[in-house]
Amino acid sequence: IADSEDAAEVIPKIFLYEGCSLAEGDTNPWDYLDQMLFMAGMLDSYTDGGDTKDYIDDNYVSSWWDITKLYESDGNMTTSNCIAEMNEGKNVINHIHHSNEHGLGTQNGMIYSSQLYALENSPRITSTLYTIGCYAGYMVYPSNNAFMFVQAPDGGGVTMTSNNCYGWYSPGHYNMYSNDFDIEYFNQLCTEDVWVTGEIHAVHKYAYRNTAMSNTYYRYIYYELYQCGDPDIPIYTSEADDLTVIYEDSIPQGAQEYTVHVDDSTDSSVEGALVCIWKDDEVYAADLTDENGDATFAINPQSEGIMLLTVTAHNFKPFETEVEVTDENTYIKLTSFTALTTDKGIELEWSVSTDIPINGFNLYRSIPETSLAPSNFDSSSSLDTAWTKVNTNLITGKNPYSFTDTTANTDTTYTYRLEAVTGENAEIIGETESTNSSVPSSFALNNVFPNPVYNSINVSIDIPENANIEICVYDITGRKVSTLASGLYAPGEYTITSDVNNLSSGVYILRMTSENFVSAKNFVIAK
């Protein structure tokens, strides 16, 4: 790539192969990733390049790949056949025949560099073409095969590995000199699981570093074999799976931690996915997900606007979305609220996320059948007589907070409401129901009730051991829209209640996760 015009031809193809939304016009159809093309000629009357290709196929290429073989020895390696197959769209192409800077050899002539430039296989862009032909990538000649293949505006590929000068073969041998490098390339790609273009190129040459020190031919090839194109292309080596990305789609401005969780289509955590976030000149960070599928960032967006989020992983379609950064710089969010019946009374515990000082909390108790107060009653006015204030003094302490209601009847199920007091203001921030202290035998996400949900949702769960639990709501696109509970829970049976007035009508997914447990249920919000 010599200038911006060359770059303008290549970069859209990179976006297209990788499945990025920045690709112009077409999108990757994902239906050709298993397609491989072998083009092999007779190097002399008794040296068949097809023997090298067959050796690669037999020893390294898995059965997932669908290989089209055009061999001169079979009489089908004509120029027209080769161009037609390339225009069909192949993920990986391998060529072996005599060549020069003007074209790649075929049984009846050449695929000229001008024909490579005119390929029309888009949107099925080739990841790489590997050839051992002489001078196929002769750098002195600006219209050599490698340059034209990578710069082809309507097809071609994003990388090509070729010789700047001579390629070498040994008459009668399928696995010496340039053929050896060719074989090793596919060993790295298909067997050693090396799938980034530049890395494959480096390690397949490195395999012959010692041989190159003592053998002139190997040293010659080592020096002049090069890759044209983007060295950071991840070659797809299986069908492209979908990523399920769990993230907050709206965050306040200011310093905070931001966590992204990545699963595959079976809800298994994806380790090693690259997560990137960017907002103008305020936020730019990238990290790989850990063994739990999480990547956490310390960010500090200074203004409202849009933060871009992208997630990529090998053999997955990329995930791209926008996160809204709001100017809401004061909030109180209840992250967990539980009420467990014990022999000491009803032990209540809750945690909050906030960026404003909280003076303390009040707790109100009611028997569910007689709970007449509205969900968002004005705590500054007189409460309905069905509700009893539990605490005498304002509840204070450290997050997470706790309180034991010793005046309640342990044989009765109660509903509790939590009120946060800030200055002269007070706000009901959540509700929960007391549960019995019997210890379940296993984790369970039980009932979601009522279903359909109208104003609030109740979730029944079992926890057999101390565990960090998160219960979240997702829309049908996989976007996290609400967190019902998050934190450390003691063993017990719980019913968690949360307001869903901020969610529109539709189908949602409720997902409960802990270190060794994942479960999900669908529910409907109807308004």
Note the pLDDT tens digit of each residue in 336-381: 888 888 778 889 999 887 767 889 999 999 886 544 433 334 444 3
Our count of domains for the chain comes to: 4
Q: What is the pLDDT of residue 385?
A: 47
Per-residue pLDDT tens for 140-198? 999 999 999 999 999 999 999 999 999 999 999 999 999 999 999 999 999 999 999 99
Pair 123, 77 in one domain: yes
Domain membership of residue 238 (yes or no) is no
Contact 236, 269 (CB under 8 A): no
CATH number at residue 388: 2.60.40.10
Co-location of 270 and 209 in the same domain: no
Instruction: Please write down the HEC assignment for all residues of 452-469.
Output: CECCEEEEEEEECCCEEE
pLDDT score for 31: 96
3-state helix, strand, coil in the chain (%, to 5): 15, 40, 40
For residue 239, tell me if it sits in a domain.
Answer: no
| Residue type at position 185 | Y
Give pTM, 2 decimals: 0.66
Please check whether residues 338 and 387 belong to one and the same domain. Answer: yes
pLDDT of residue 329: 55
Task: Give residues with Cβ within 8 angstroms of 108, minimum separation 6.
Answer: 78, 79
Residue 234 lies in a domain: no
CA distance 389 to 387: 7
Instruction: Let me know whether 311 and 342 are in one domain.
Output: no
Say if 237 falls within a structural domain: no
Same domain for 273 and 254? yes
Instruction: Enter the DSSP assignment of 368.
Output: G
Answer whether residue 75 is part of any domain.
yes
Q: Are strands 128-131 and 159-163 parallel, antiparallel or unpaired?
A: parallel
Q: Is residue 377 part of a domain?
A: no
Q: Are residues 423 and 476 in the same domain?
A: no
- The domain in which residue 397 lies consists of 332-371+382-436
Q: For residues 44, 174, 229 and 117, what is the CA-based torsion angle, rounded to 10 degrees?
A: 30
Cα 159 from Cα 227, distance rounded (Å): 7
| pLDDT at site 330 | 58
The rounded percent of the chain whose pLDDT value lies above 70 is 94
Provide the CATH number for the domain around residue 515: 2.60.40.1930
Model pLDDT, residue 370:
43
DSSP per residue, 208-267? THHHHHH-HHHHHHHHHEEEEE-TT-B---SPPBPPEEE-BSEEESSSEEEEEEEE-TTS
- Whether the Cβ atoms of residue 339 and residue 364 lie closer than 8 Å to each other: no
Determine the distance from the C-alpha atom of residue 100 to the mean position of all C-alpha atoms in its chain, rounded to a whole number.
Answer: 42
Length of the chain: 527
Q: What is the CATH number of the domain that holds 213?
A: 3.40.50.1460
- The DSSP letter of residue 173 is -
Residues of the chain with pLDDT under 70: 1, 328-331, 355, 368-385, 410, 435-439
> Do 321 and 344 fall within a single domain?
no
Are residues 219 and 313 both part of a single domain?
A: no
Q: Within this chain, do residues 394 and 283 fall inside the same structural domain, yes or no?
A: no
Find out whether 403 and 395 touch, Cβ atoms under 8 Å: yes
Which of 263, 254, 257 lies closest to 472, judged by CA? 263
Whether residues 66 and 165 fall in one domain: yes
Whether 318 and 193 share a structural domain: no
Q: For the segment 114-148, what is each residue's pLDDT rounded down to a tens digit?
A: 999 999 999 999 999 999 999 999 999 999 999 99
Instruction: Kindly state the tokens that stand for 375.
Output: 């969900």
User: Does some domain include residue 343?
Assistant: yes
| Phi/psi at 456 (5° precision) | -140, 155
pLDDT at residue number 379: 41
Pick left, alpha or beta for residue 315 (phi over 0 → left; psi -120 to 50 → alpha; otherwise beta): left
Residues 68 and 215 grouped into a single domain:
yes
Instruction: Assess if residue 387 is contained within a domain.
Output: yes
pLDDT for the residue 353 = 77
The model's pLDDT over 86-108, given as tens digits with 9 standing for 90+, comes to 999 999 999 999 999 999 999 99
C-alpha 247/C-alpha 412 separation (Å) is 38
Give me the pLDDT at residue 436, please. Answer: 56
The H or E element spanning position 388 is: strand 388-389
Q: Among the three residues 419, 436, 453, which one is the final residue of a domain in this structure?
A: 436
